[in-house]
């Protein structure tokens, strides 16, 4: 029986490139997929595109393509396994990203490479046509006014399948649901019916397991003495070998670092899942509730039992909008009495923000090392007082000029605060917030653009 | 009866979607799963994270995955506006699961 080998080359935009190159070289892959879009990445990319019409794609696209396209070229030689690339690194500008891929192919002397761009996820125009549409945070599209930056629907696998049917070597998309990037080569290779919900559910599980790259190979797992990960520094990225029924074994390249076992697979399966019986994607309502994992070799795990039911009638749309500014400052205290001095510093800053009338929608003042991650109640479970404590004050303000004052009031603790403050930092950043809504499927039209690299 | 920390029986990972966190708790050994089902109740986890939860966002939910000896807790509102707006140092709440591993199990 034919099997398909799919590798995962990135779990987020800034991910490491070396493990992807290792997979491209030694993974004996049919497809290498790079998943690089977090919730608000497209909104940030859209801002870049507004400043420069050719920009708005992943900043590491060029570097990644330079490193892996030579293996795509190798796969086109006689007797070699053909390797193709799928990625959402197009972000807010898939067409421009595809041009960049063709340019790099030309630089590398790789001729005749077919590069496809998938567009249609950008639904900003459709959204403007329905100003009373309600977002999940309770406000209307109209109320965002000119703060509205972007609106992108999560596309499913079908546009990518169309590009693969057109023989693309590289498929560059904007917003596509993460597991759909991996489901597409399975649909293309095995020709599953559009309503074969069980197999599509299985293929979606494989996508979900692979989409965070190193998170299933031990890259988010090590807890020394409790859960050890061998050779973490040389962490390998995962690949899955899938059969025509959607049954799969997840593994990694021999000799790479990390570990894949039932424990790492279980953590990744539940990651970002709510009801395991209803994991919604544009392709299917996947059911992971009866999944089981079996170790079939060293760093080889078989996944069984995923199911599926009909896909949702609507597509999720991520809406990016400007939401004021966050000003922030930090300063550290150390040695005996550090905690009391940091607490005093916190009180002083909060009082000064009031005294000077800084206008903020929300203020947060926390002690890193004490209560920043889990709050004071859980933080008090610590058995010893920390040797060093770092004060962090952050506030969200409508105006940049107000936000700037937050960091200033922390930095000035140097000469206006408790003894021994050091390492102060301050900053201000614009908030690009993301909310969501649902659009009917027929309001979204995926479109494939295909060109040869000359 | 003596108590031990959850960390000795289980491992955990936290995910985020909007301002909701989900925390998996996965038994190392199948024979410990039932203890977790009985003791790691919604009420107990809600009380444990009380300072961080937003009651207006809705109750904590728990899903059971017996095939993989895991529980999945969904905690609405705990990310205070979500990763894009939150003022928190760990806006994703990625470190939340590690806190839960300190809870006592009989």
Q: Residue B39: which CATH number?
A: 3.30.70
**Residue A251, both tokens:** 């593994």
Do A215 and A260 fall into the same domain? yes
A340-387, pLDDT tens digit by residue? Answer: 999 999 999 999 999 999 999 999 999 999 999 999 999 999 989 999
Report the residue of chain B nearest A265, measured CA to CA: B68
- Shortest Cα distance from B28 to chain A (angstroms)? 8
A88-140, pLDDT tens digit by residue? Answer: 999 999 999 999 999 999 999 999 999 999 999 999 999 988 889 999 888 99
Do A305 and A367 fall into the same domain? no
Q: Which of B 9-68 lie inside 8 A of A, CB atoms? A: 11-13, 15-18, 20, 22, 24, 26, 28, 48-52, 61, 63, 65, 67-68
Q: What's the total number of domains in chain A?
A: 2
Q: Domain boundary at A264, A296, A312, which?
A: A312
Do A26 and A94 fall into the same domain? yes
SS3 A75: helix
Position A430 pLDDT exceeds 60: yes
Provide mean pLDDT across the span A193-212.
98
Say what the pLDDT of residue A350 is.
98
Do A40 and A22 fall into the same domain? yes
What percentage of chain A exceeds 70 in pLDDT? 99
Do A296 and A362 fall into the same domain? no
| C-alpha span between A266 and A250 (Å, rounded) | 12
Say what the pLDDT of residue A453 is.
60
Question: What is the interface pTM, i.e. ipTM, of the complex?
Answer: 0.96
Position A1 pLDDT exceeds 80: no
Position A420 pLDDT exceeds 60: yes
Do A9 and A65 fall into the same domain? yes
What value does the mean pLDDT of chain A take?
Answer: 96
B41-61, pLDDT tens digit by residue? Answer: 999 999 999 999 999 999 999
In a domain, A447, yes or no: no
In a domain, A174, yes or no: yes
Say what the pLDDT of residue B1 is.
67
Q: Is B91 on the interface with A (CB under 8 A)?
A: no
Which of B1 and A287 is assigned the larger pLDDT? A287
| C-alpha span between A435 and B81 (Å, rounded) | 10
In a domain, A450, yes or no: no
CATH number of the CATH domain containing A360: 3.30.70.600
Do A295 and A351 fall into the same domain? no
- Contacts with B79 from chain A: Cβ below 8 Å: none
> Inter-chain contact A270–B26, Cβ cutoff 8 Å?
yes
Picking from A349, A386, A341, A388, the residue whose alpha carbon sits closest to that of residue A365 is: A349
Position A454 pLDDT exceeds 70: no
**Residue A134, both tokens:** 């309600």
Around A398, how many Cα atoms within 13 Å sit in the side-chain half-sphere?
2
Do A287 and A234 fall into the same domain? yes
**Residue B21, both tokens:** 């966190």
Say what the pLDDT of residue B85 is.
81
Q: Which domain holds residue B68?
A: 4-105
Say what the pLDDT of residue A39 is.
82
Helix H or strand E encompassing A159: helix A158-165
DSSP secondary structure string for all residues of A234-298: GBPPEEEEEETTS-EEEEE-TT-BS--SHHHHHHHHHTT-SSTT-EE-SS-EEE-TT-EEEEEET
Residue B21's region, left for phi above 0, alpha for psi from -120 to 50, else beta, is beta
Position A50 pLDDT exceeds 80: yes
Position A11 pLDDT exceeds 90: yes
In a domain, A279, yes or no: yes
- Contacts with B68 from chain A: Cβ below 8 Å: 262, 266, 269, 291-293
Q: Which of A 411-450 lie inside 8 A of B, CB atoms? A: 431-434, 436
In a domain, A139, yes or no: no
Do A41 and A106 fall into the same domain? yes
In a domain, A248, yes or no: yes
Do A307 and A346 fall into the same domain? no
In a domain, A140, yes or no: no
- In Å, how far are A116, A173, B79 from A96, measured between CA atoms? 11, 11, 35
Report the residue of chain A nearest B71, measured CA to CA: A270
Position B20 pLDDT exceeds 60: yes
Q: Domain boundary at A290, A312, A334, which?
A: A312
Q: Which domain holds residue A53?
A: 3-120+155-312
Do A209 and A83 fall into the same domain? yes
In a domain, A53, yes or no: yes
- Shortest Cα distance from B77 to chain A (angstroms)? 12
Q: What's the total number of domains in chain B?
A: 1
Task: Give the confidence band of A306 by pLDDT, cuts at 50, 70, 90.
Answer: very high
Do A67 and A186 fall into the same domain? yes
A276, A290, A436 ranked by CB distance to B72: nearest: A276
């Amino acid at each position: 029986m034919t099997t398909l080998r799919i590798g995962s080359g990135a779990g987020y935009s800034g991910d490491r490139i070396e493990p992807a190159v290792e997979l491209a070289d030694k993974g004996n892959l049919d497809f290498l997929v790079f998943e690089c879009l977090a919730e608000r990445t497209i909104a940030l990319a859209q801002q870049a595109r507004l400043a420069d019409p050719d920009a708005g794609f992943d900043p590491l696209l060029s570097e990644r393509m330079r490193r892996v396209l030579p293996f795509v070229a190798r796969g086109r030689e006689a007797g070699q396994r053909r390797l193709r690339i799928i990625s959402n690194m197009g972000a807010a500008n898939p067409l421009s990203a595809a041009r960049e891929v063709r340019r790099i192919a030309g630089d590398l002397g790789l001729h005749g490479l077919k590069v496809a761009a998938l567009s249609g996820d950008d639904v900003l125009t459709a959204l403007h046509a329905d100003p009373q549409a309600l977002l999940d945070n309770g406000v209307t599209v109209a109320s965002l006014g000119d703060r509205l930056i972007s609106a992108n629907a999560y596309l499913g696998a079908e546009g990518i399948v169309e590009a693969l049917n057109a023989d693309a070597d590289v498929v560059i998309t904007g917003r596509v649901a993460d597991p759909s990037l991996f489901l597409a080569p399975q649909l293309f290779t095995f020709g599953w019916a559009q309503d074969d919900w069980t197999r599509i559910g299985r293929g979606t599980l494989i996508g979900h397991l692979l989409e965070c790259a190193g998170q299933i190979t031990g890259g988010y797992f090590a807890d020394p003495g409790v859960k050890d990960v061998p050779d973490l520094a040389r962490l390998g990225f995962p690949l899955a070998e899938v059969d025509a029924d959607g049954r799969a074994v997840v593994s990694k390249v021999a000799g790479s670092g990390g570990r894949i076992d039932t424990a790492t697979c279980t953590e990744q399966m539940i990651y970002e899942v709510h009801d395991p019986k209803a994991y919604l994607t544009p392709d299917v309502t996947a059911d992971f509730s009866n999944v089981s994992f079996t170790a079939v070799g060293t760093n080889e795990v078989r996944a069984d039992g995923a199911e599926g039911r009909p896909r949702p009638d609507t597509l999720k749309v991520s809406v990016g909008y400007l939401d004021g500014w966050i000003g922030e400052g930090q300063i550290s205290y150390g040695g005996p009495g550090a905690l009391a001095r940091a607490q005093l510093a916190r009180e002083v800053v909060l009082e000064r923000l009031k005294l000077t009338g800084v206008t903020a929608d929300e203020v947060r003042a926390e002690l890193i090392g004490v209560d920043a991650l889990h709050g004071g109640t859980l933080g008090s479970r610590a058995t010893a007082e920390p040797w060093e404590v770092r004060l962090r004050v952050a506030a969200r303000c409508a105006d940049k000029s107000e936000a700037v004052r937050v960091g200033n009031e922390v930095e000035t603790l140097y000469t206006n605060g408790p003894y021994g403050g050091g390492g102060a930092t301050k900053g201000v950043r614009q908030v690009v917030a993301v909310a969501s809504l649902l659009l009917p499927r027929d309001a979204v039209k995926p479109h494939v653009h295909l060109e040869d690299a000359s | 009866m003596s108590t031990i920390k959850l960390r000795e029986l289980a491992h955990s990972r936290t995910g985020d979607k909007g301002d909701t966190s989900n925390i998996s708790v996965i038994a190392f050994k199948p024979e410990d799963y039932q203890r977790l089902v009985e003791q790691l109740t919604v009420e107990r986890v809600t009380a444990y994270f009380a300072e961080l939860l937003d009651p207006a966002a809705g109750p904590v939910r728990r899903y059971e995955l017996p095939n993989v000896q895991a529980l999945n807790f969904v905690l609405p509102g705990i990310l205070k506006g979500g990763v894009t707006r939150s003022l928190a140092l760990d806006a994703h709440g990625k470190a939340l699961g590690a806190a839960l591993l300190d809870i006592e199990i009989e």
